[in-house]
Amino acid sequence: PHVAVPMPLLLLHAAALATHAIYRRAAFRVAALLPASLLLPASAAGEVERLRSADGLIRELKSQWSDLTIDCRYGEMRRELLSAENKERLLAEASSTSKSGTTVTVCKSSGVQVRKVLGTTAESSLSRMGALLERPALLQRVPEDSLEAYQAASEQLQQALAAADGAAYLAGNDYSAQTTFRRGESTDTPNLDAAFQSVSEAQQALARILEIVQAGG
């Protein structure tokens, strides 16, 4: 069930987000324009390498999406054995040490592994991406005429990652997460589908960020 949120709270939340975005844009501009001598001595090589690692991780997540979002560690009784005419066979199979004759492997969908890759419930190269994007050593690589594009791509990346994580969390409510199915059967996974879309948007934003910082380096 949806919980109604009072309109004043929604307005306050929207205002807070807008204010935060303004402060972040100002911080981007100041850090990017400061002389290198005023910054702590640091190299952006590590930061850029982590961005590349994050890009590779997103690509791997998308290529392994089915394996990561389908959990086939479940088993259920073969339905045909439950019929009256198969009573003797069921009793025979039940006395056997092997359960392969009485059970079949089934699956459920899950967003648990997706959230781990996104760095929400486990450490990954996508963890704390906002802090990484604001590091002065990295901002120094952003050409002045690309600063606005960098800011926009940074915000898009963080919003897409947050949306992907939220959808992966809600995937536990999908019908296929509550009801078992056999591998290969078509399933209804609206929240996982939304998570995949957001991951694709994050990939596009990250590609733009890498393009900018590598051009400036």
Distances, alpha carbon 142 to alpha carbons 126, 139, 147, 193, in Å: 20, 5, 6, 34
In the structure, what pLDDT confidence band is assigned to residue 4 with cuts at 50, 70 and 90?
Answer: very low
Percent of the chain with pLDDT over 90: 55
Q: What per-residue confidence (pLDDT) applies to 73?
A: 85
- pLDDT digits 0-9 by tens, 63-82: 999 999 999 988 665 555 45
Asked whether 26 and 191 are in contact (CB, 8 A), the reply is no
Q: What per-residue confidence (pLDDT) applies to 186?
A: 83
Looking at per-residue pLDDT, the higher value among 1 and 158 belongs to 158
Report how far Cα 63 is from the mean position of its chain's Cα atoms. Answer: 13
Of 80, 75, 62, residue with least CA distance to 108 = 75
As a whole number of angstroms, the distance between CA 88 and CA 79 comes to: 14
- pLDDT digits 0-9 by tens, 149-174: 999 999 999 999 999 999 999 999 99
- pLDDT digits 0-9 by tens, 123-148: 999 999 999 999 998 998 999 999 99
Residue whose pair of structure tokens reads 């209804």 in the numeric block: 188
Asked whether 194 and 53 are in contact (CB, 8 A), the reply is no
